[in-house]
């Protein structure tokens, strides 16, 4: 494996930039190729077969860019398609489910974890399986929160509107027994709502809740796989990112808030 080859990252659209942000912090010397399937977003409302088909297309595009590894930043794609992608790919594939599951288990004191994500991610029960594979005794409560995606994209991350949506979802989750002590953000968009979710969860639930964003855990896992496969690049900084999308609409403008830095040179591709 060419250690100077880029790392491929794909998502259904812009949300995966929250994962890329953590990757850039953890691995500043690596080059990345980011693919956002903005023409076919959202994945969270689609069937398993459709998400698997789209994810295969994304993998094939990244293979053509000669990447040394593929990071499936999209939770819905990881939840539905990771086994199929792993079988097909000649290079290592890292998803977000297992690192997120591990991180949530680490934080939970009472072994009760709430997983919030898209309808697809929750329906797949992938997080439940991943958590139970590592810690069978943990109680897992999956809760779809589909409205958080448009809120994050439109910049509604605080104020009356997001507060009432958060109250709607977390209020219902708090009424389910047993109450959770750890809230895992199992969607690329939810880190933008981190402060609000953390604050409101601690106000709504009876006991303190730890809110877990898995992006850092994913970046650590990527770093571990690079070490294990001896494919990390020697450079310590100065890595570049090439951005590809399947539809150009507002990617740079919205994406900046997800990545935390300006984005330029985005290319539109047919995959």
The residues of the shown chain that bind ligand DGL, judged by CB under 6 A, are 11-13, 15, 41-44, 74-76, 117-118, 121, 149, 187-189
Q: In angstroms, rounded to a whole number, what is the distance separating the alpha carbons of residues 33 and 30?
A: 10
- Catalytic residue status for 145: no
Residue closer to ligand DGL (CB basis): 122 or 225: 122
- What minimum distance in Å lies between the beta carbon of 157 and ligand DGL? 16
Say if CB 49 and CB 77 are below 8 A apart. no
Phi, psi of 71 (to 5 degrees): -105, 120
Residue closer to ligand DGL (CB basis): 6 or 191: 191
The active-site residue, picked from 62, 69, 74, 183, is 74
- Catalytic residue status for 187: yes
Q: In angstroms, rounded to a whole number, what is the distance separating the alpha carbons of residues 133 and 21?
A: 28
- What minimum distance in Å lies between the beta carbon of 94 and ligand DGL? 15
Residue closer to ligand DGL (CB basis): 74 or 204: 74
- What minimum distance in Å lies between the beta carbon of 228 and ligand DGL? 26
Cα dihedral across residues 155, 159, 160, 163: positive or negative: positive
Residue closer to ligand DGL (CB basis): 75 or 179: 75
The active-site residue, picked from 187, 201, 204, 212, is 187
Closest CA to 20 of 10, 12, 238, 29: 10
Closest CA to 149 of 8, 10, 12: 12
Q: In Å, how far from its chain's centre is CA 80?
A: 13
- What minimum distance in Å lies between the beta carbon of 19 and ligand DGL? 9
Say if CB 162 and CB 153 are below 8 A apart. no
State which residue has the least CB distance to ligand DGL.
Answer: 44
Give the active site residues. Answer: 74, 187
């Amino acid at each position: 494996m060419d250690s100077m080859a880029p790392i491929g990252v794909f998502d259904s659209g812009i949300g995966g930039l929250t994962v890329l942000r953590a990757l850039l912090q953890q691995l500043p010397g690596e080059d990345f190729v980011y693919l956002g399937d903005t023409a076919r977003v959202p994945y969270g409302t689609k069937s398993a077969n459709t998400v698997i088909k789209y994810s295969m297309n994304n993998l094939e595009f990244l293979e053509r860019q000669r990447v040394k590894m593929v990071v499936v930043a999209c939770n819905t794609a990881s939840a539905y398609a990771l086994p199929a992608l792993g079988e097909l790919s000649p290079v290592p594939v890292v998803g977000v489910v297992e690192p997120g599951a591990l991180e949530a288990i680490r934080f939970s004191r009472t072994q009760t974890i709430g997983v919030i994500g898209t309808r697809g991610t929750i329906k797949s029960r992938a997080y439940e399986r991943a958590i139970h594979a590592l810690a069978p005794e943990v109680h897992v409560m999956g809760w779809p929160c589909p409205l958080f995606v448009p809120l994050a994209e439109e910049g509604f991350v605080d104020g009356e509107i997001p507060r009432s949506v958060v109250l709607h979802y977390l209020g219902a989750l708090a009424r389910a027994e047993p109450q959770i002590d750890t809230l895992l953000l199992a969607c690329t968009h939810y880190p933008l709502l981190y402060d609000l979710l953390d604050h409101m969860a601690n106000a709504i639930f009876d006991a303190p809740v730890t809110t877990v964003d898995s992006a850092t855990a994913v970046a650590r896992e990527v770093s571990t796989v690079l070490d294990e496969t001896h494919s990390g690049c020697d450079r310590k900084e100065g890595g570049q990112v090439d951005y590809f999308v399947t539809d150009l609409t507002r990617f740079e403008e919205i994406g900046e808030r997800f990545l935390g830095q300006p984005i330029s040179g985005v290319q539109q591709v047919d995959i």
